[in-house]
C-alpha cells in the first residue's frame, strides 16, 4: 500500500494537474491520460499524490467543534463536490443537482441544528458518488457504478488501488472525525447521543413516497420512538423505518452509535421540503424542538446495548 501524502505536507510530492500525470506508464503516454481507466501499481515505497488537490475542500467539515450538548450530529450525504482530479466522474454538471449526488438540503439543516442545539457536527466533504460514507468499503453501493439508473463513468472498472485510495482519502477521514468528536464528548461527561440527517427523493422510479419525514433506526428505540411520536403529533406524515429501513441502511449510526451502546437514530426529510431557506429553517426548527426535549431525558445518556 503506497503512502498517500496529506495535502500540504511539508515534504509531500510536487503536485501535478491531472492532465500532466501522463508519465505513469508507457501505455498512458501512448493512449493519452484517462483518469478513469489508469491501473496504477506503485511500488511499496512510492508516495502517491493526493486525489484532493489544493483547490478542493477537505474530506469533512467540522461545525461548532466543542459544542456544549452531549450530542453528535452527522451528515453523510452533505456534499455534491467531486475533486478536480476525478474530473466530475465523467458526468454532466446537471447530474450534481440530483439526489444521486447528495441529500438536497441536509447540510444546511445540519449546520443550523448545530447552532440551535449547540452540538458538534461533522459533514462529509464529497459526493456520495465519489464514495458513499454510509456504506462499508467493498459494498456494491460504496463506489456506485450506477445510481438510480444513471451510469457513473468515472466509477467503472476501478482497480483495488483506486478503491483503496478513495477509502483512505474520503471515507476514513470523515469517520475518524466522528470517532474523535464522540470520544471528546464522552470524555467530557455523559455518553453522547448520535443523530444523522438525510433527505430523500419523493419519487424513486414509479414509486411515490408520501412521507414528510422518515425516522430510521436499527435496534435502539431511545431516540426513534419519541421522535416518531412527537413528529406525528405535529400532524406530519412520518415513516417508521420508511422510505428506507435503518435495519438495511444504517452504517454510520451502527458503526459509531450502535456498536458503542450510544443512543442513535437517523432522520430522512422529504427533499421537496428543504429545497430553499424557508424550508430548511422550518425543518431545523421542528427538529430542534423535538430533539431538545428527547435529549433532556436521562435514558438517552447512558450506554445500552441492543
The residue (of 103 and 169) whose beta carbon lies closer to Zn ion is: 103
CB of 147 to Zn ion, least distance (A): 12
Site residues for Zn ion, 186-205, by CB under 5 A, read 198
The residue (of 77 and 80) whose beta carbon lies closer to Zn ion is: 77
CB of 127 to Zn ion, least distance (A): 11
Residue 235, classified by CB atoms within 10 Å of its CB into exposed (0-12), middle (13-18) or buried (19+), is exposed
Measured CA to CA, the distance from residue 262 to residue 191 in angstroms comes to 7
Measured CA to CA, the distance from residue 136 to residue 251 in angstroms comes to 7
- 48 contacts: CB under 8 Å, gap ≥ 6: 2, 3, 4, 5, 13, 40, 42, 165
Residue 281, classified by CB atoms within 10 Å of its CB into exposed (0-12), middle (13-18) or buried (19+), is middle
Helix (H) or strand (E) holding 302: none
CB of 196 to Zn ion, least distance (A): 8
Q: Point out which span in 61-69, 88-96, 99-107, 242-250 binds Zn ion (CB under 5 A).
A: 99-107
Q: Point out which span in 17-25, 43-51, 97-105, 208-216 binds Zn ion (CB under 5 A).
A: 97-105
Secondary structure class of 216 (helix, strand, coil): strand
Nearest CA to 61 among 5, 98, 110? 110
CB of 110 to Zn ion, least distance (A): 11
The residue (of 173 and 214) whose beta carbon lies closer to Zn ion is: 214
Site residues for Zn ion, 100-129, by CB under 5 A, read 103
Q: Point out which span in 73-81, 84-92, 108-116, 177-185 binds Zn ion (CB under 5 A).
A: 73-81
CB of 221 to Zn ion, least distance (A): 21
CB of 15 to Zn ion, least distance (A): 32
Of positions 72, 77, 127, 294, contacts Zn ion by CB under 5 A: 77
Angle between helices 277-295 and 224-233 (to 10 degrees): 130
Exposure class string for 48-58: b at 16+ Cβ within 10 A, else e = bbbbbeeebee
User: Cell digits for 266?
Assistant: 437517523
Q: Is 80 in the site for Zn ion (CB under 5 A)?
A: no
The residue (of 50 and 199) whose beta carbon lies closer to Zn ion is: 199
The residue (of 77 and 135) whose beta carbon lies closer to Zn ion is: 77
CB of 141 to Zn ion, least distance (A): 12
Binding residues for Zn ion, rule: CB under 5 A, are: 77, 103, 198
Amino acid at each position: 500500500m503506497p503512502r498517500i501524502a496529506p495535502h500540504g505536507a511539508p515534504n509531500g510530492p510536487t503536485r501535478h494537474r491531472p492532465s500532466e500525470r501522463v508519465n505513469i506508464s508507457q501505455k498512458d503516454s501512448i493512449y493519452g491520460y484517462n483518469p478513469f481507466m489508469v491501473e496504477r501499481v506503485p511500488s511499496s515505497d512510492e508516495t502517491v499524490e493526493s486525489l484532493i488537490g489544493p483547490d478542493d475542500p477537505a474530506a469533512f467539515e467540522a461545525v461548532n467543534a466543542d459544542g456544549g450538548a452531549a450530542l453528535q450530529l452527522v451528515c453523510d450525504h452533505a456534499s455534491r463536490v467531486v475533486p478536480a482530479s476525478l474530473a466530475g466522474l465523467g458526468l454532466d454538471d446537471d447530474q450534481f443537482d440530483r439526489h444521486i449526488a447528495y441529500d438536497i438540503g441536509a447540510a444546511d439543516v445540519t449546520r443550523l441544528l448545530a447552532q440551535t442545539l449547540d452540538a458538534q457536527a461533522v459533514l462529509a466533504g464529497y459526493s456520495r458518488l465519489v464514495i458513499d460514507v454510509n456504506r462499508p468499503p467493498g459494498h456494491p453501493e460504496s463506489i456506485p457504478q450506477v445510481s438510480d439508473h444513471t451510469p457513473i463513468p468515472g466509477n467503472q472498472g476501478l482497480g483495488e488501488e483506486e478503491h483503496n485510495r478513495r477509502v483512505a482519502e474520503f471515507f476514513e477521514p470523515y469517520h475518524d472525525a466522528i470517532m474523535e468528536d464522540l470520544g471528546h464528548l464522552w470524555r467530557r461527561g455523559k455518553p453522547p447521543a448520535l443523530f444523522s440527517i438525510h433527505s430523500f427523493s419523493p419519487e424513486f422510479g414509479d414509486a411515490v413516497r408520501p412521507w414528510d419525514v422518515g425516522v430510521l433506526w436499527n435496534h435502539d428505540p431511545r431516540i426513534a420512538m419519541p421522535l416518531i411520536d412527537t413528529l406525528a403529533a405535529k400532524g406530519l406524515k412520518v415513516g417508521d423505518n420508511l422510505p428506507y429501513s435503518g435495519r438495511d441502511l444504517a452504517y454510520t449510526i451502527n458503526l459509531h452509535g450502535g456498536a458503542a451502546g450510544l443512543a442513535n437514530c437517523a432522520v430522512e426529510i422529504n427533499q421537496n421540503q428543504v429545497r430553499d431557506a424557508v424550508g430548511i429553517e422550518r425543518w431545523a426548527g421542528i427538529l430542534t424542538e423535538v430533539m431538545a426535549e428527547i435529549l433532556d431525558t436521562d435514558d438517552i445518556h447512558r450506554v445500552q446495548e441492543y
